[in-house]
Every structure is written in structure tokens, then in C-alpha cells.
Amino acid sequence: MNIVFYGPNAATFEPGLSEQLDMPHKITVISDAADSPGEAEALASADVVVGVHYAGKGVQNARLFQLPAAGFDKVDMDALPTSCAVCNAFGHENAIAEYVMAALLSRHVPLADADARLRQGDWHYWAGGPDGLRTEMGQQSIGIVGHGHIGKAVKERALAFGMTVHVANRSPVEDARITTHELDALPEMAGQVDVLLNTLPLTGRTAGLIGAEVLAAIRDGAIVMNVGRGPVIDEDALFAALKDGRLNAILDTWYVYPSRDDPNPQPSKHPFCNLPNVLITPHMSGWTNGTIARRTATVAENINRLARGDDLINVVSEPHS
């Protein structure tokens, strides 16, 4: 089969793939624009396209569009051939859960500040000094929006740290260790927790789900975190809720991303970077060696399944006539 890795993001998952395939296949890596010599032809003749986006140009014969990622909001499903299945890949949940725990722990265990102070002879945090008492993450509560791969991984780690865990999910969650809520009751959950964490992907039903009503319900001093898709939290409402300092935020997913025309944009139309109560990171929470390895294995598994005629895994969209 002809396998095409479409764009530099997808190309990250090409090294080591051939060693995991049951039989040899032709593998080609092309640019996002597919405008270098031979690239358009490679895309048109591909049996499998591995990519994170598709705007509706070039794919003609593919039987599988394989996302090496979980999100599929950048893929125009209707523009793909009717014989083409769309599948995604996970494997990022462990990395993202570690990011969430590290970001939260850093607010309770100020290692960098303690180190900097002690180097100057300042024993502010020493055991015995009443002014340096710290808080504990285990005394906090977290409300996780979504109980998919990421939500479940965060839940387990939060429980291990002793946090009180709430989960809001569209379908019922059976877990006696936590308090569950329906998504329609999101404002109610938001008002009960110290941390509100979005883990949801972007779909027609989740866009703007966390809006002004939910943000207004969050109690003063609480933290809003986003490791799902940026627009699940309404951009204007979030900035309005943060600019007066009533809430805090840890944001890893955004509203504006780098492009060929603008490789280093600000991540929002609003100046979140000017707010001292916001920690911003560049969509890095799931980007680890482990994530790459697990997702490459998923890509290889589906290529092998397609070659054998077996059912695919992680199917987002079935072929249709």
C-alpha cells in the first residue's frame, strides 16, 4: 500500500513505523501544502493518509485517513472519499495527567521559589517558620469535565493524591469514589470545586460549553484549567472572568495556533499573556516521547488491520456510499 504522512506534525510519527508493519509498504512524507514536486500525486494515490488536518483537497483513493492524535475537528470528513474510514489515536492521557498534576502541585509545593530564596539565605519555608506554611493539593477538590481517556487518567491521579473528585459527563459514570454530574448541571459542579478542568474535544455539541454561566458559578480564587480543546471554553467569557483577578487559570489549549503564514501568533485575540493570574503553555501537555511511541503503535496497528482486511480500531467515521 501507499502510505503518506501529510505535514510535519504527522511526520513526527513516521520514524519507527516500518518496523511495526507486518509487510513492506511504500511510505512518503509530504508537506502541509502538498505543493512540492510529486507531493500532490502521492496524496492522490495514497491508500492511507496519516495527518492531523484535511481541508478537502487532494485525497482521492485513500481507504483510511489515520489521525495520529485524538482531535478530529480539523478534518473535513465530507471532503474525503466515501470509501475512506477516519480513525484517531490516543496514548496522550498519561502525559496530560502528569501535566495537570505538575501544574497543580506547583501551586502548593513552591520548589523553585524555595530554592531561589535559600540561595540568598532566606529560610522562608523552613519547618518551624510560621510564615512559610504551605497548602496541600490533597485538601483540594477538582471537577473534571469529560470522562474519556484524559478524564479517567486525571481522576485516578487526583484520587491518589487524596483530592475530592467530581466528574461531569454526558453519559453516566459508575464510580463510587467520586461525585458525578450531568453536563447540563455543569454550573452546579463548577460552584463546588477548587479546580475546574476541561478535557473535552471540540465538537458541535461542546463548543462554548463552558461559558459565562459556568464561569460565573465558580467560587472566588478557584482555578480553570483547559487541556481539552480551547473553544470548549468560550474565549470572550473566559477572558472577562479572568481579567478582574477573581479566578485563576492554567491554559494549555487555545483559540489561535501557528500556521504557515503566521508561525508565532498570540494564542488568542485577548491578551491572556498580560494577566498575572494565568499560567499559559503552548499545547504541550500531551507531547512526550511516550505519547509519540503509543500513537505510532496505533497507526501501525490500523495499517496492519487494513492490509489484513480486519476491523479498524478507534473509528471516528465509517466508509459510506
Q: pLDDT band at residue 321, thresholds of 50, 70 and 90?
A: low
Structural Rg of the chain based on CA atoms? 22
pLDDT at 260 over 90: no
Dist CA 153 CA 160 (whole Å): 11
| 214: enclosing H helix or E strand | helix 212-217
pLDDT of residue 42: 97
262: DSSP letter? -
Distances in whole angstroms, Cα of residue 186 to Cα of each of 17, 148, 249: 42, 17, 18
Measured between its terminal Cα atoms, the distance across the chain in Å is 22
Q: Which three cell numbers stand for residue 235?
A: 474565549
- Phi/psi class of residue 7: alpha, beta or left (left: φ > 0; alpha: ψ in -120 to 50)? left
**Count of C-beta atoms within a 10 Å radius of residue 254:** 20
Nearest by Cα to 317 from 55, 35, 137, 65: 65
pLDDT digits (tens, 9 = 90+) for 20-37: 999 999 999 999 999 999
Q: Tell me if 218 sits within 8 A of 244, measured CB to CB.
A: no
Which residues share a beta bridge with 201? none
Q: Tell me if 4 sits within 8 A of 49, measured CB to CB.
A: yes
Backbone angles phi, psi at 67, to 5 degrees: -80, 130
pLDDT at 193 over 80: yes
This prediction has a pTM of 0.94
Distances in whole angstroms, Cα of residue 244 to Cα of each of 106, 214, 239, 307, 317: 23, 17, 9, 57, 43
pLDDT digits (tens, 9 = 90+) for 131-186: 999 999 999 999 999 999 999 999 999 999 999 999 999 999 999 999 999 999 99
SS3 242: helix
pLDDT digits (tens, 9 = 90+) for 272-318: 999 999 999 999 999 999 999 999 999 999 999 999 999 999 999 99
Hey, what CATH class is 2-91+289-317 in?
A: alpha beta
Dist CA 181 CA 285 (whole Å): 26
pLDDT of residue 53: 94
User: Rounded mean pLDDT of 236-240?
Assistant: 98
Nearest by Cα to 320 from 86, 88, 83, 47: 83
Nearest by Cα to 293 from 86, 99, 68, 31: 68
Hey, what CATH class is 93-280 in?
A: alpha beta
Dist CA 175 CA 186 (whole Å): 18
pLDDT digits (tens, 9 = 90+) for 203-227: 999 999 999 999 999 999 999 999 9
Which residues share a beta bridge with 144? 167, 197
Domain boundaries defined on the chain: 2-91+289-317, 93-280
Dist CA 79 CA 300 (whole Å): 24
What length is written for the chain?
321
Dist CA 321 CA 310 (whole Å): 19
Q: What is the side-by-side order of every strand in the sheet holding 315-317?
A: 26-30, 2-6, 48-51, 64-66, 85-87, 315-317
Nearest by Cα to 180 from 143, 211, 233, 223: 143
pLDDT of residue 19: 97
- On the question of a common fold for 2-91+289-317 and 93-280, the answer reads yes
pLDDT of residue 129: 86
Mean pLDDT (the chain, rounded): 97
Dist CA 202 CA 228 (whole Å): 8
